Amino acid sequence: MKFVIKKIAGLIITLLIVSILAFLAFEVIPGDPARTILGTEATEGKVQALREEMGLNRPLPQRYGQWLGEFVMGDMGTSYSYQIPVRDMIGDKIPITITLTVIAFFFIILFSIPVSVLCVRYENKLVDRLFLIFNQITMSVPPFFIGIVFTVLFGLLFRLFTPGGYVPYTESISGFLGYLILPGAAIALPKAAMTTKMLRNSLLAEMRQDYVRTAMSRGNGFWRVLMRHVIRNGILPVITFLGWAIADVITNSIVIEQVFGIPGLGRTLISSISKRDYPVVEAVIVLIAVVILVINVIVDLLYRKLDKRIEV
């Protein structure tokens, strides 16, 4: 229980720091939201009047305290550009980004575990060497470039999907999920390659342990030893990496959404930054931080659950 309380306390403190940095960042970045809304031709008097109406002339600590209190209560503010509550503006976009992240993580697991086991089974043979070469190439290619290749290959050449033909989940769940498969795969491939390499090395190290030789000397076959003993121990270092990989998947989805024309949090974030729509940007940044930090806490708890000898 002390471990759980410690992790939750750390999560709250980290979120507080993230919220402060997100709020202060726009005090440093050049640009005035009031000037952006009114345009460059507006008089200084009109700009100052709008700043007063928006509360931008109040002291910074007062504005941050009010914003944080309202955010905790579920009020994320009002969009400067669209004059609608931020919660309503991004509410229907959160499921899109979450679904894309889940699909990408599913592909990471689907690709990495079978390939790692296959490489261990045929260590230093042709299959193992070919996968290692493919892994090195895949790890060096950024997800957005893979997304572009997928768009050209499967969209323009093979016409398996329509580039930019996003299907909302409110219209068709199957169409929505189908359109997210390629973006999810584009995000997943580099991380799947890294996971494969790490898991392969971890499993090979476990296969050389004394308990494996003892189990095999008792008549247990390779697959039985691997599935019942080796994977449980070998996957421990990979769990921490997967927690970090999920965070990276979320950040990569911001760019991939632009490539495939997906109206998720990523596109909203980029659009709001260009428009100096600070309430939207701050809300999206804090929400992403919440998801990443919660996932890291879950990973730490899972890590400790699998091996109680380890102090996380």
Phi, psi of 85 (to 5 degrees): -55, 135
- For residue 242, give the CATH number of its domain: 1.10.3720.10
DSSP secondary structure of 43-59:
-HHHHHHHHHHHTTTS-
Q: Identify whether 263 is part of a domain.
A: yes
Work out the average pLDDT over 208-228: 88
Q: Identify whether 71 is part of a domain.
A: no
Of the two residues 293 and 303, the one the predictor is more confident about is 293
Domain hosting residue 237, numbered range = 93-267
Q: Identify whether 65 is part of a domain.
A: no
The amino acid present at 232, given as its one-letter code, is: R
Q: Identify whether 63 is part of a domain.
A: no
Q: Which spans in 41-121 are helix H? A: 44-54, 60-72, 86-91, 94-121
The answer to whether the beta carbons of residues 109 and 118 sit under 8 Å apart is no
What is the count of structural domains for the chain? Answer: 1
Of the two residues 283 and 32, the one the predictor is more confident about is 283
Highest-pLDDT range among 33-47, 94-108, 237-251, 262-276: 94-108
Q: How far is CA 182 from the centre of its chain?
A: 16
Q: Identify whether 282 is part of a domain.
A: no
The answer to whether the beta carbons of residues 304 and 237 sit under 8 Å apart is no
Q: Identify whether 279 is part of a domain.
A: no
Q: Residue 191 above 90 pLDDT?
A: yes
The answer to whether the beta carbons of residues 250 and 292 sit under 8 Å apart is yes
Q: pLDDT digits over 12-67, tens only? A: 999 999 999 988 887 777 777 888 778 777 888 888 898 888 888 888 889 899 98
Predicted structure pTM score? 0.87
Mean pLDDT of the chain: 88
Q: Identify whether 139 is part of a domain.
A: yes
Q: Identify whether 204 is part of a domain.
A: yes
Q: Residue 304 above 80 pLDDT?
A: no
pLDDT attached to residue 154 = 94
